[in-house]
Structure 1
Amino acid sequence: MKNRMVISSTFIEYADRLLDSMARHSIESPAEFNELALALFALQFQHVPPYRRFCEARKKTPETITKWSEIPAIPTAAFKEFELSSLPAGERTSVFHSSGTTRERPSRHYHNRRSLDLYGASLLPWFQAHVLPELSGCPDSSSMPHRTFFILTPNAARSPHSSLAHMFETVSSAFGSTDSMFVGTLDRDESWILDMDRTLPALRECAQEGRPIVLLGTAFSFVHLLDYLRERKLHYQLATGSRLVETGGYKGRSRTLPKPELHSGITELLGIPSTHIICEYGMSELSSQAYDRIVGTSESQISDRVFHFPPWARARIVSPETRNEVADGEVGLIHAFDLANASSVMAIQTEDLGIRRGNGFELIGRAALAEPRGCSLMNTTETIARIGSRRTGVLMDV
């Protein structure tokens, strides 16, 4: 029987319905989320041919699915092999690439003005709720107290294909003061590096003036900064109220530090307490982000750093063996279902392992996946993967 829950026939109608649901908070209703997810799945099944083939190989269609959790999650590797976009080529105004080495073929996530507007509508309220919760009582942007944003990446003009640079520029434009700055730059092979001639004087000035800042960057950029400070026996006591958002992995660009060691170094050399260090989880293939705490939450209130997506996105921690969601406290692959991912594919199988923690997850790290390529992504019903976790001792063949 044809699915009767499809509520919109075009992407514009869908986006308008989603934005209205977000504004009214009705998206928090399981029934509303399910209805919107099924509507978006029907649109993407129709308008994204590679995804349609992927679903048909699994015998999943809009006529056979009644729950959002049944929607097939496509591996992120497919974004490298196929154009997973409903946008005609002439309407694509930007593309976000996955990070990695320059030798790798990147994922490609295409956008136009409308899809970037939806990206922003997803990004800003969830960022504010976790990083700047004190602004929740401001009636409009003109009455907001703006903070200095100090960003350890290049800006979007220098890195136009980086979703992270776009994200940081979007939040800085919305919440940052006019003296906010990007202090990242590019080296000869276009890898991101810090411009220390700008970074250190600016940090010193903020510390001396007692001006709270919002410090944003990747894990590897913070390692580079901390190493540079240690080598020169420098440290800064940033003002009370300063906070830091850390995201991304190391990708071979710095030595790897366990999170507790990285965060203790940040506290030691920058004066930002662990209660004001927030981790963000996102990727170029998604339009929504997850955060692991609200700034200022005491350590006694949090046993583990548990990531939560906004109400218009869901995470499922899935067993590679059964494809079912694992029990609470068990390990699996992270599947993300992002209703703001309207112009590509909403259901994504990441390459990350997580521990299910209620309706959130604790991030373990990258899974050792044998990346499927080409036709194997579309035409087989099984993805070959070997997933190892030293923490759990799990080793599984799918």
Structure 2
Amino acid sequence: MTPLLQVTSSPSFADYARQLVALIERGEALTEAQFADLARELFALQFAHVTPYRRLCDARKVTPATLADWCTIPAVPSAAFKELELTSLAPTERTAVFHSSGTTGHQPSRHFHSAESLAVYEASLRSSFARHVVARAGDGKSSARFLCLAPPPEQAPHSSLVHMFASVSRAFGAPGSGFVASAGTDNSWALDAAAALTALRDAETSAQPLVLLGTAFMFVHLLDALAQLGLSITLPPGSCAMETGGYKGRSRELPKAELHAQITARLGLPHAAIVCEYGMSELSSQAYSSLITNHSSLPFVFPPWCRARVLSPETGREVAEGETGLLRIFDLANVRSVMALQTEDLAVRRAEGFELLGRATQAEARGCSLLAQ
């Protein structure tokens, strides 16, 4: 077997990134030992070159020399991306920065990228998206068009989600794929309902499969527009939808089961054609889940180069299967920032992944802060 990582006496980020991309493109599974070796190597690089992270690790008395296990690599709370420049990139090397979404006037998280780190991001993104979304799309005769319920990249240059939609549309979408929303000066998104309806009707009449990509709140806007017109669309076989994210006060909120039921009713998509995605601007990999029925779904799963653990906010230890805790993520594709991220998201540990419950309450968020100490 080809070694996963050619460790040299003085490895560089470029060496690591190049070989991680090769690993991703080979599509190989990772054993626990292989993941541990990669995690240790990346931790050593980030400890040496991400100054704020090194200070955090020193405070916790964890260094590459003393690291006991990859699970004990110090995790940075996601909120730290708002206050600190958690990057090994010099300002002149930064070609992109992704911001977290949120309330206008609040400092967003900032995740800096270079051309090199974006290449890793793209490899990670396309591999997982192909497996979980593209594999459901198309009818064997024609590829699917992508309908993105989001503004185009030039209107939202700091949105990792818009970058994602543009990337997968270029890689997998048929001609005619596009965006049907606009971004306001306050970073709000407005759906172009007329353009969306035209694309839906074109798919229905042409029988060309359609892949809809959007946040939960943009799907609500689309569903509300259809309801106001008294319309339902029957999308052709091979069509599917991927929804992600929460509402953040941008639309009326629907329980996930009701949102999916309305997508089925208004767009004619079966439950199995609806995919859920979990991602963050602070990450370079995404997790996916799919529906079994309207009221049950498979756990979220990350690709082999990204691991999730569900930790007790009281003990800091991983909870037992079926128990609830706070989600901690180790993303090997976060090459030029930090690989270990402590989120504020509550999750249930499952055998093959995790079930997402939502954002922690204030009390649970304090537990998140304790986990990050």
What's the TM-score once normalised by structure 1's chain length? 0.86
Tell whether 2:163 aligns with 1:166: yes
* Paired position in structure 2 for 1:141: none
C-alpha spacing 1:125/1:275, structure 2 compared with 1 (3 Å)? same
Separation in 2 of the partners of 1:359 and 1:152? 30
Q: Is the 8 A contact 2:137 2:238 kept in 1?
A: no
Q: CA deviation at 1:20?
A: 2.9
C-alpha spacing 1:386/1:161, structure 2 compared with 1 (3 Å)? closer
Tell whether 2:230 aligns with 1:228: no
C-alpha spacing 1:265/1:303, structure 2 compared with 1 (3 Å)? closer
Tell whether 2:28 aligns with 1:13: no
Q: CA deviation at 1:24?
A: 3.9
Separation in 2 of the partners of 1:145 and 1:341? 35
Q: CA deviation at 1:202?
A: 1.7
Q: Is the 8 A contact 1:237 1:271 kept in 2?
A: yes
C-alpha spacing 1:270/1:24, structure 2 compared with 1 (3 Å)? closer
Separation in 1 of the partners of 2:252 and 2:292? 29
Tell whether 2:106 aligns with 1:104: yes
Per-residue displacement from partner, 1:130-178 (whole Å, max 9, x unpaired)?
1122689x9xxxxx95320000001211100000000000000000011
* Paired position in structure 2 for 1:149: 146
* Paired position in structure 2 for 1:334: 327
Q: Is the 8 A contact 1:337 1:347 kept in 2?
A: yes
Aligned length: 364
Q: CA deviation at 1:359?
A: 3.8
Separation in 2 of the partners of 1:305 and 1:352? 18
1:190-205 → structure 2 map (5 Å cutoff): 190-205=187-202
One-letter amino acid of the counterpart of residue 191, structure 1: S
Per-residue displacement from partner, 1:323-363 (whole Å, max 9, x unpaired)?
11110000011111000000000000111000000140000
Separation in 2 of the partners of 1:97 and 1:178? 29
Q: CA deviation at 1:370?
A: 7.1
One-letter amino acid of the counterpart of residue 163, structure 2: H
* Equivalent of 1:274 in 266, 271, 275: 271
Q: Is the 8 A contact 2:25 2:127 kept in 1?
A: no
1:70-219 → structure 2 map (5 Å cutoff): 70-133=72-135, 146-219=143-216
Q: CA deviation at 1:94?
A: 0.7
Gaps of 5+ in 2: 1-5
* Paired position in structure 1 for 2:239: 242
* Equivalent of 1:363 in 336, 344, 356: 356
Q: Is the 8 A contact 2:143 2:209 kept in 1?
A: no
C-alpha spacing 1:165/1:70, structure 2 compared with 1 (3 Å)? same
* Equivalent of 1:321 in 306, 314, 320: 314
Q: Is the 8 A contact 2:144 2:174 kept in 1?
A: yes
Separation in 2 of the partners of 1:187 and 1:18? 37
Q: Is the 8 A contact 2:145 2:177 kept in 1?
A: yes
One-letter amino acid of the counterpart of residue 125, structure 1: S
One-letter amino acid of the counterpart of residue 263, structure 1: H
C-alpha spacing 1:232/1:328, structure 2 compared with 1 (3 Å)? same
Q: CA RMSD for the aligned pairs?
A: 2.4
* Equivalent of 2:340 in 347, 357, 364: 347
Q: Is the 8 A contact 2:137 2:211 kept in 1?
A: no
Q: Is the 8 A contact 1:6 1:35 kept in 2?
A: no
One-letter amino acid of the counterpart of residue 205, structure 2: Q
Q: Is the 8 A contact 1:219 1:249 kept in 2?
A: yes
Question: Secondary structure at 2:366's aligned position in 1?
Answer: coil
Q: Is the 8 A contact 1:128 1:135 kept in 2?
A: no
Q: CA deviation at 1:190?
A: 2.9
What's the TM-score once normalised by structure 2's chain length? 0.92
Separation in 2 of the partners of 1:160 and 1:151? 15
One-letter amino acid of the counterpart of residue 366, structure 2: I
One-letter amino acid of the counterpart of residue 352, structure 1: D
* Paired position in structure 1 for 2:287: 290
Question: Secondary structure at 1:28's aligned position in 2?
Answer: coil
C-alpha spacing 1:364/1:53, structure 2 compared with 1 (3 Å)? same
Separation in 2 of the partners of 1:134 and 1:238? 14
Q: CA deviation at 1:298?
A: 4.9
One-letter amino acid of the counterpart of residue 303, structure 2: P
* Paired position in structure 1 for 2:3: none
Separation in 1 of the partners of 2:218 and 2:7? 44
Q: CA deviation at 1:283?
A: 0.5
* Paired position in structure 2 for 1:60: 62
Q: Is the 8 A contact 2:136 2:238 kept in 1?
A: no
Separation in 2 of the partners of 1:214 and 1:134? 9
Separation in 1 of the partners of 2:67 and 2:306? 18
Separation in 1 of the partners of 2:206 and 2:143? 16
Q: Is the 8 A contact 1:95 1:109 kept in 2?
A: yes
Identity between Structure 1 and Structure 2 (%): 54
Separation in 1 of the partners of 2:16 and 2:49? 14
One-letter amino acid of the counterpart of residue 305, structure 2: W
One-letter amino acid of the counterpart of residue 261, structure 2: S
Separation in 2 of the partners of 1:343 and 1:386? 24
* Paired position in structure 2 for 1:251: 248
* Paired position in structure 1 for 2:366: 384
Separation in 2 of the partners of 1:156 and 1:354? 31
